[in-house]
Amino acid sequence: MTSLLGEMTPVLGERHPLALELRRELARILTQLGDPQQAWAVLRSLLNDVIAVPGADHPEAGHLRDLLKNLERLLSRPARDD
């Protein structure tokens, strides 16, 4: 996914809807793979771009803020020994 995003971004631009969607999906995958810190960084960057294009009041911006809050809660939890 990262390589696809790397190939698409120079052609379409970072703020193209497909590039934005791929970045959100990348964050989801990173979270599932156990890398919430990297997922948070991807979502934070994505939120900045969503705010710049559709605007801070766009529903996607609110959704991304919620995802970031959830990741922040996850990151602040102590590690569990399962």
How does pLDDT run across 32-80, given as a tens digit for each residue?
A: 999 999 999 999 999 999 999 888 999 999 999 999 999 999 889 765 5
9: exposed, middle or buried (Cβ count in 10 Å: 0-12, 13-18, 19+)? middle
pLDDT of residue 5: 64
> Structural domain of residue 39, as residue ranges?
2-76
CATH number at residue 21: 1.25.40
In a domain, 81, yes or no: no
pLDDT of residue 12: 76
d(CA 21, CA 39): 14
pLDDT of residue 15: 82
Count how many domains the chain has: 1
Closest CA to 49 of 16, 2, 27, 5: 16
CB-based contacts of 15, cutoff 8 Å, min separation 6:
49, 52, 53
In a domain, 18, yes or no: yes
In a domain, 72, yes or no: yes
CB-based contacts of 51, cutoff 8 Å, min separation 6:
58, 61
